[in-house]
Amino acid sequence: MLKYLKPNQKNLRFWQLGVLVAVFVVWHVLTKPGLIPPIFFDNDRQAAFFFGEPIKIFARIWDWFFGVRDIYGHLWVTLLETVLAFAIGTVAGLAVGMWLALSPLAAAIFDPYIKALNSMPRVILAPIFAVWFGLGIASKVALGFTLVFFIVFFNVYQGVKEVSPTVLASARMLGASQRQLLRHVYLPSATSWVFSSLHTSVGLAFVGAVVGEYLGSARGVGYLILQAEGTFDINTVMAGILVLTAFALVLDWVVGVVEKRLMKWQPRSGETEKL
């Protein structure tokens, strides 16, 4: 009987951390003036100008959180916009996807409109939302909502459509009502598809918040990055990107924790193959 080798968790974390450290070490060596001769640039200062210096970037992040502490207000605004867009987009995508999947007539009517809206570039909606909702949080949430909604919607719609006809027939033979089918058959089937899309939706919710802040805002991490770009401060730009990435990973981890708790009923990989 074949045995599948699984990586040791401690070793896996060690190698993951090692890759991250190696990336920053190489970054530091290539951008620190005087360490190595210039390779792709005319002088050893151009690399630092275009890509920043990791030590200065981490110093800026440290100053943000433990020095002048001026990032907390901006970070709170960006996180609030992201979480609201993520939550509202997920709930709306789940509700609309479930409704259209269970209503063939409604799905046929709205199908071309949904495809048209999904094909529309979301960035062009940002100025429109700014006019409609102002330059506050609402316009950023609206833009993030459009990014999250369609991913969740299509996954829910497909998840409901993928329900086994045999399972449905068996449940109906046992006398299950439409509400019981929704709770015990359709929702579990859709939930697995929803969580497969939420990990992507977290990043897109951040994109919506930051892009909205770029186009018009007085607060937020995206606003800090935009101000730094205006003064060619690449270290602050990279610091903002790293902060956003770190918090996106934290939200993705939260989604993973919730997924593990809600999906305990789902068999683990390889369990269905056991005799």
* Per-residue model confidence as pLDDT tens digits over 230-270: 888 888 888 888 888 888 888 888 887 877 776 665 555 44
Q: Which domains does the chain have, with CATH numbers?
A: 20-33+45-70 (no CATH), 71-263 (1.10.3720.10)
**What is the model's pLDDT at position 43?**
57
pLDDT digits (tens, 9 = 90+) for 54-99: 888 888 888 888 877 778 888 898 889 899 999 999 899 888 888 8
Q: Between 3 and 171, where is the model more confident?
A: 171
Q: Evaluate if residue 51 carries a pLDDT over 70.
A: yes
Higher per-residue pLDDT: 46 or 21? 21
pLDDT tens-digit map of 152-204:
888 888 777 766 666 666 666 666 666 666 666 777 766 777 777 787 888 88
Higher pLDDT, 52 or 118: 118
pLDDT at 37: 59
In the predicted structure, residue 2 carries a pLDDT above the cut 50: no
Residue pair 80/137 in contact (Cβ under 8 Å)? The answer is yes
Grade residue 7 by pLDDT with cuts at 50, 70 and 90.
low
